[in-house]
Amino acid sequence: MSYGGYGGYGGPPGPPPYGGAPSGYGGGFTTHVGLPPPPPGADPQLWSYFTTVDHDRSGAITAVELERALVNGDWTPFDLDTVKLLMTIFDVDRSGTIGFNEFVGLWKYIKDWQNVFAHFDRDRSGSIDGHELRNALTQFGYNLSPPILNLLQKKYASETRALGHAAAGINFDRFVRACVVVKQLTDSFRKLDADQDGWIQISYDQFMNTVLSLP
In the complex, the residues that contact a copy of itself under the rule CB under 8 A are: 5-6, 62-64, 79-81, 84, 87-88, 91, 94-97, 144-145, 147-148, 151-152, 155, 158-165, 181, 185-186, 189, 193, 198-205, 207-209, 211-214
Smallest gap from residue 143 Cβ to a copy of itself (A): 10
| CA separation, residue 139 to residues 11, 104, 112, 211 (Å) | 8, 27, 16, 24
Smallest gap from residue 46 Cβ to a copy of itself (A): 22
Smallest gap from residue 19 Cβ to a copy of itself (A): 31
Residue 31 or 95: the one with the smaller Cβ distance to a copy of itself is: 95
| Rounded CA separation 56/112 (Å) | 28
- Are 112 and 123 in contact, with CB atoms under 8 Å apart? no
- Are 83 and 67 in contact, with CB atoms under 8 Å apart? yes
Smallest gap from residue 186 Cβ to a copy of itself (A): 8
Closest alpha carbon to 169 in 114, 131, 116: 131
Residue 40 or 147: the one with the smaller Cβ distance to a copy of itself is: 147
Residue 115 or 153: the one with the smaller Cβ distance to a copy of itself is: 153
Helix (H) or strand (E) holding 70: strand 70-72
Residue 91 or 112: the one with the smaller Cβ distance to a copy of itself is: 91
List b or e across 98-116, with b for residues whose CB sees 16 or more CB atoms inside 10 angstroms.
bbbebbbebbebbebbbbb
Q: Which amino acid is at 193?
A: D
Cβ contacts of residue 161 below 8 Å, gap of 6+?
Answer: 167, 168
Residue 21 or 178: the one with the smaller Cβ distance to a copy of itself is: 178
| Rounded CA separation 180/14 (Å) | 10
Smallest gap from residue 162 Cβ to a copy of itself (A): 3
Residue 76 or 139: the one with the smaller Cβ distance to a copy of itself is: 76
Smallest gap from residue 112 Cβ to a copy of itself (A): 22
